[in-house]
Structure 1
Amino acid sequence: MNIKSVLLDQWNACYHDKSWFLPLHEILMDLKASQAAWENESKQSIWSIVNHLIFWNEKWLERYNTELVDRSSPINNDDTFYVNPHPLNELEWKKTLQRLETVFDSWNKALEESTELKLLTEIPSYFHAPWWGAVSNLCIHNAYHIGQIMLLKKQCLSLSQKND
């Protein structure tokens, strides 16, 4: 077993493969836009967390592909949870899900095509962390938010059953 196969296993457990928890694709596939936009008392929604995951996975994929981590322009993490309130409809939700699938598939392809040397290479502008460490931490970040999404889905569905 090598670093690449471990990362691919972690990556696919987050989105496609049943493992210790349901993969994100399976959790989201039967949700309607109104359910995805439902907010709990903390003002979190599945849609906002999905947007956050899309942002960070796209950002790190760009960094991985360009081998450049530019930290000169700070990112307000709260802004990555933004959901435009006007087009909250099924079409926009489907577009969001497609973008999520695209970034997960693109990461999977990038990892499959990676060499061990690339994964061992340090990122000088990011604490000299190796790429495998950054990708592994991205998987942990995804898993954390997948847990939140699952909990929000259960809360939303439970509430809707009580109201029926």
Structure 2
Amino acid sequence: MAVVHRFHEAWHVAAPPDQVARTLSDLAGYPSWWPEVVAVAALGGDSARVLCRSRLPYTLDLVLTAVTREAPRLEVTVEGHLEGWVRFDLVPDPGPRGTAEGTLLDFHQEVVATGWLGAASRPLRPVLHWNHHRMMQGCRDGLARHLTVGARQAGPPPVSL
């Protein structure tokens, strides 16, 4: 019987939802800010092949197909070494102490591993979940850095007189 892996995380990013949505919708840009995303190749339409590698010594080969690319929900189906779906819900969030406009990212994933990974999913579940947590830590940290650098490069907003 297949083992379903469900993941949920939520975190704040100090950038507005539209900026976060643009970054998360641009799969081709993931390797520049998400260290565990090794490569992305467009397959045409709304699909891309994505290679991911976290701490364990294997690379996931996935095909992601967009279900929706419009905030507040970004969602893809997943095929390949994993089968299922991933989504980010983006909620405007004033952030800690209400000082900066930001976004609450509510991440959900539900997948079943295929092949040898699927066969090993039950006994390796704690290790696979640890590995996934490490991958998502790379996402959180890389996205925060990327959005901060992007905001600095854009400069301050123009002043109206």
Taking structure 2 as the reference length, the TM-score comes to: 0.38
Please identify which structure carries the higher strand content.
Answer: 2
Q: Which has the higher contact order (CA 8 A, sep 6+)?
A: 1
Please identify which structure carries the higher helix content.
Answer: 1
Taking structure 1 as the reference length, the TM-score comes to: 0.38
